[in-house]
Structure 1
Amino acid sequence: MGEISIKINIADRVYPLRVDTEEEEVIRYAAKLINEKIKELQDNYAVRDKQDLLSMCVLQYATGMIKAERSAQDQGQGIEQSVHELDKLLSDFFNK
Structure 2
Amino acid sequence: MGDISIKINIADRVYPLKVNTEEEEIIRRAAKLINDRIKEYQENYAVKDKQDLLSMCVLHYATTTLKAEKKVMVEDTEVSDKVYQLDQLLSNFFSGQ
TM-score, structure 2 normalization:
0.97
Instruction: Establish whether residue 38 from structure 1 lines up as the match of residue 43 from structure 2.
Output: no
Instruction: State the shift of 1:71 in Å.
Output: 0.5
Match of 1:90 in 2: 90
Match of 1:57 in 2: 57
Instruction: Letter of the 1:10 partner, please give it.
Output: I
Separation of aligned partners in 1, 2:95 and 2:59: 53
Match of 1:8 in 2: 8
Q: 5+ unaligned residues in a row in structure 2: which ranges?
A: none
Report the 3-state secondary structure (helix = DSSP H, G, I; strand = E; otherwise coil) of the residue aligned with 1:39: helix
Instruction: State the shift of 1:46 in Å.
Output: 0.4
Instruction: Letter of the 1:94 partner, please give it.
Output: F
Instruction: State the shift of 1:14 in Å.
Output: 0.3
Report the 3-state secondary structure (helix = DSSP H, G, I; strand = E; otherwise coil) of the residue aligned with 2:92: helix
CA RMSD of aligned residues (A): 0.5
4+ residue stretches of structure 1 with deviation over 4 A?
none
Separation of aligned partners in 1, 2:81 and 2:21: 40
Match of 1:47 in 2: 47
Q: 5+ unaligned residues in a row in structure 1: which ranges?
A: none
Separation of aligned partners in 1, 2:90 and 2:22: 44
Separation of aligned partners in 2, 1:73 and 1:8: 33
Separation of aligned partners in 2, 1:60 and 1:44: 15
Matched residue count: 96
Instruction: Letter of the 1:11 partner, please give it.
Output: A
TM-score, structure 1 normalization:
0.98
Instruction: State the shift of 1:45 in Å.
Output: 0.3
Match of 2:28 in 1: 28
Identity %: 66
1:34-83 CA distance string (max 9 Å, x none): 00000000100000000000000010001001001110110010000000
